[in-house]
Structure 1
Amino acid sequence: MIKDRGKIKWIASFILPEMVASYSRIDWDNKKVEKPILDEHQLEEINQTICSAMEYNEELIFTLYYNGGFQLLIGKVHFVDPLTSELSITDYFEDIHKVRFEDIINVCKNNE
């Protein structure tokens, strides 16, 4: 006797691509986090670390808030633009990244 799954084998064929996309979007939305609010002490510490690293041409590790998640960026601060509130950061591959001040969550020195 042949053992068949019956109707169960046809269920997967009725899932529409739109349903799959919506399920993955819902799952991704659940992984988002809110941006942490920094106090004055943390902002001053970040500012001092950036100024010190610019003076001695040191690499920094930036933790950035982007689109509901966190990203790491390792590089040297090339230029600080107070008018647009942006940093120009040069990474290991000599690419320049523009980072807004309000996106910076944490900064620490890269001790190699």
Structure 2
Amino acid sequence: MNDHLKRGNLLWEGSRMFLPEHKQSLLERKRLKQKLQKPILDPDKLEEMNQTLCAAMEFAQDITVSCFQDGEIVCCTGKICRYEEFEKAVWIKGDEDQLYKLKLDQVLDIVL
């Protein structure tokens, strides 16, 4: 066997380099694949959420709201402190006085 054929895996050694940019792009691709599609709510569910929202505002009850944001479902818990009809948004005051502004078109579920 010739000496140049006994070099082992040296021919491919240069391609083993993995830059931080490569890792970042692979993680970004994985995150994009895991994103969810926004579900479409039927009118009955919208009416049920509207009634729950009105009851929570009237009696100042704690609610848990599930929202769709950036391909993920996020849950917020607290009391409704403000409802903005023109912007179609709800402000929820959570634990430790955190304020959440939730757009109503992103809301998936409201539970007392």
Q: Which of the five TM-score ranges fits, normalised by the shorter chain?
A: 0.7 to 0.9
1:53 lines up with 2:56 in the alignment: yes
Structure 1 length-normalised TM: 0.85
Distance 1:42 1:75 in 2: 21
SS class of match (2:97): coil
Where does 1:7-86 land on structure 2 (aligned, <5 Å)? 7=9, 14-86=17-89
Distance 2:81 2:14 in 1: 57
Distance 2:18 2:103 in 1: 42
Distance 2:9 2:42 in 1: 59
Which residue number in structure 2 is paired with residue 87 of structure 1?
90
SS class of match (2:47): helix
1:97 lines up with 2:90 in the alignment: no
Residue segments in structure 2 that go unaligned for 5+ positions in a row: 1-7
| Percent sequence identity over aligned pairs | 25
Q: Offset of 1:13 from its aligned partner?
A: 5.5
Alpha carbons of structure 1 residues 7 and 75: separation in structure 2 relative to 1, 3 Å? farther
Cα deviation digits, residues 52-111 of structure 1 (max 9, x gap): 0111111001100000010010011111110111101100111211110011000111xx
Greater helix share, 1 or 2? Answer: 2
Structure with higher Rg: it is 2
Distance 1:93 1:13 in 2: 49
Distance 2:66 2:82 in 1: 18
